[in-house]
Chains A and B, each alone.
Chain A
Amino acid sequence: MLTDSYNPLEGKMLSILDKDGKIINKDLVPDISDDELVHMYKTMLLTRILDIKSLQYQRQGRMLTYAPNQGQEATQVGSIAASEKKDWLVPAFRELGAWLYKGVTIEQIFLYWYGNELGSKFPEDVNMLPICVPIASQLPHAVGIGMASNIKGEDVVTIAYVGDGGTSQGEFSEAVNFAGVFNTPTVFIISNNQYAISVPREAQTKAKTLAQKAIAFEIPGIQVDGNDILAVYAAAKEAVDRARNGGGPTLIECVTYRLGPHTTSDDPTIYREDSEVEHWKEKDPITRFKNYLIKKKLWNEEMDEKQKEEYNTLVNNNFKKVEESGLVPLEDIFKYNYEEMPENLEIQYRDYVKYLREEVK
């Protein structure tokens, strides 16, 4: 078990690929088909391009607030790739690569950031909860899904995401504790990107690692190089298999870095040095994985350029479609709060419609 050989209290962190894409831990390379490796890489690439384009749209005044993902693509894609279609994804708000891998469409992602609730209505066959803004409050939902899985006797696993700041919330501890007590099939992924807006990881907790928080709840915990997609996948796969076989929850801390701002409203130059960002750029998860695939002869620079171009067009087309999608119909604001609109809402809706009609006259 990786969680046995990598005890977070001993300062051990799982890594398989070095920063140049060379294998440093041959025995631990996970068994992933060539097609799947390429699919994972392409999802990371699409994530990066969607991210860069979104920042551009935002600066052009065509997009509202956006939370970028650059630097965290391996954590996002590596973790969800270890799960199956029937499994659940419980997001925080910065897991774009995982959402795309899960089957959320580019159009929906733009609808969400564009300020339309339809962006959170995922297709029936995508087992994913809506993006969750209040930090760590999504984790009890993940545990509840798992409690229901246990009662129903279904072999479905839930992958739940939280950031480093989220581990300070009460609901983080409550959820991990519930998961332990009820032995739920839950894999908690901590995307430790070193900052909760401006507050550095060191200011969140005296604990040397976030993975060691698992120990108090008597569940397996492991720290992995979050920019190494093979390490993330290996740890997540072991946790998913354990969960599916009735072995209960696992806490995985992925050590990564947010290369961009917290959101488009944030200026990270206030709270961190450029040299620190440069240092992490050298560990870019996409370059690393690309080099690995090139060495394996599964990918080359020419394919890379072609793919980027294709994704640029795809992203642009989807964004244009969303830009032209217009405003939310008035009725929709009222009709989804309850299964049936109660009388007080009916009156408010009717009065406002009447006002609008008279205003036009």
Chain B
Amino acid sequence: MALLNNISAITEALDQEMGRDNTVVVYGEDVGFEGGVFRATVGLQKKYGKDRCFDTPLAEAAIIGSAVGMAVNGMKPVVEIQFSGFVLPGLNQIIGHVARYRNRSRGRYNLPMVIRMPYGGGVRALEHHSESLEDIFAQTPGLKVVIPSTPYDTKGLLLAAIRDPDPVIFLEPKRIYRAFKQEVPKEDYVLPIGKAKLVNEGSDITVVAWGALVREVQNALKDLKDEGISVELIDLRTISPIDRDTIIKSVQKTGRFLVVHEAYKSFGPGAELISIVNEGAFLYLEAPPTRLTGFDVTIPLPKGEHHFIIKPKQISDKIREIVSF
């Protein structure tokens, strides 16, 4: 066991997998010599050489597009996009090719590749550094979308993502990159992609969150416990494909549902989750399934961002509202 934060868990996963499988290559902007702007790849170039971990020119479409060719030709590329807000020039590659290659070639070309990117707000950053774009990827057939919320999950899910035969978008909640540490096993382990985690068992309401929001919900639960409201908290961990069963079974038990996410509200992942609840647990519902999300506005710059970021009190207030419906 070692005490790791989310960033060092990424580094450890990459390090172990590069050591285990010499087809794994790691690259992107500032990824090689410097070890990434968040230092997720620090030390890897020194350890594995410039063939396996390297800097690229500043071009997101070519970073992602070259990874397609790499994967076709036998490698397992793990590429880094510096911030999810910079992925947009690469969407032509992700949506147009990465997601479609397997289907287009009727299974001849699998693309075992991972596109890592820090995402989400709350770090008082410049424009284009705070977006939550999980819905764009989750809506695209052929992709898997994974978001870890703890160092333990980060390591196990990243190892699973690299070994997955399908392309995985690995979104890293940068607000909690260094927020806390956790004991993480030294040895190799994988967590299943497509399975949610029951964080907290409860009986009055099911709350689903992921990434940095899991901790915000946990913070909200402290007050509610004293008030006698029993919350079942589920960390979704994989946005696509969604673990329907875990959610439906939980709502069948609690009869109430809240999803909390920072991505925009309309057409967002919360809408999808509520549909799943309606399809699978409609007759068990005691209150309307509800979402607490980012507003449908361009995410504000730092001086206005506090209104956009969801706070624990908002979460506990919303839970009280639903429970007393």
Contact = CB atoms under 8 A, between A and B. Distances in A.
Contacts of A146: 69
Interface stretch (A18-26, A70-78, A148-156, A206-214): A148-156
Contact of B70 (A122, A147, A343): A147
Contacts of A256: none
B68 A141 contact: yes
A342 B241 contact: yes
A129 B57 contact: no
B114 to A, nearest CB: 14
Contacts of B102: 336-339
A239 interface: no
Interface string B54-80: 001101011011111111111101000
B75 A148 contact: yes
Contacts of B51: 150-151
A132 B68 CA distance: 13
Contacts of A178: 56-57, 59, 62, 66
B274 to A, nearest CB: 15
Of the candidates A124, A140, A177, A339, the one having the most CB atoms from chain B within 10 angstroms of its own CB is A140
A70 to B, nearest CB: 27
B65 A130 contact: no
Contacts of B244: 343-344
- Contact residues of A: prevailing secondary structure: helix
A145 interface: yes
Given A174-B59, A174-B62, A144 B67 contact: yes
Interface string A186-206: 000000000000000000000
A141 to B, nearest CB: 4
A170 B57 CA distance: 13
B324 interface: no
Given A178-B57, A178-B59, A343-B241, A144 B66 contact: yes
A337 B66 contact: no
B69 A170 contact: no
Contacts of A170: 59, 61, 89
B166 A338 contact: yes
Interface string B84-108: 0000010011001100011111111
Of the candidates B59, B66, B104, B141, the one having the most CB atoms from chain A within 10 angstroms of its own CB is B66
Contacts of A107: none
B65 A175 contact: yes
B121 interface: no
B65 A137 contact: yes
Interface stretch (A38-46, A113-121, A312-320): A113-121
B202 interface: no
Nearest to B64: A140
Interface in B240-273: 240-242, 244-245
B154 interface: no
B25 interface: yes
A98 interface: no
Interface string B152-170: 0000000000000110000
A142 interface: yes
B72 to A, nearest CB: 6
A88 B292 CA distance: 50
Of the candidates A121, A122, A175, A342, the one having the most CB atoms from chain B within 10 angstroms of its own CB is A342
A336 B103 CA distance: 5
A148 B89 CA distance: 23
B72 A174 contact: no
A238 interface: no
A130 B104 contact: yes
A6 B64 CA distance: 34
A175 B56 CA distance: 11
Nearest to B66: A144
Contacts of B25: 151
Interface in A321-347: 332, 336-339, 342-345
Given A171-B92, A336-B103, A177 B73 contact: no
A159 interface: no
B151 interface: no
B65 A134 contact: no
A348 to B, nearest CB: 11
A143 interface: yes
A145 B69 contact: yes
A336 B107 contact: yes
A124 B109 CA distance: 10
A121 to B, nearest CB: 4
B150 interface: no
B194 interface: yes
Of the candidates A122, A134, A144, A145, the one having the most CB atoms from chain B within 10 angstroms of its own CB is A144
Given A137-B92, A177-B57, A337-B103, 12 more contacts: A132-B97, A140-B69, A144-B66, A144-B70, A145-B73, A147-B70, A148-B74, A158-B69, A171-B61, A339-B165, A343-B244, A345-B241
What 10 pairs between A and B have smallest CB-CB spacing? A144-B69, A140-B65, A144-B66, A342-B241, A148-B73, A174-B62, A121-B106, A145-B69, A141-B69, A174-B59
28 contacts: A117-B104, A118-B106, A120-B104, A121-B108, A124-B108, A129-B72, A130-B104, A134-B92, A134-B97, A137-B65, A137-B93, A140-B62, A141-B65, A143-B65, A145-B70, A148-B69, A171-B92, A174-B57, A177-B59, A178-B56, A181-B57, A338-B102, A338-B144, A339-B102, A342-B241, A344-B241, A344-B242, A345-B241
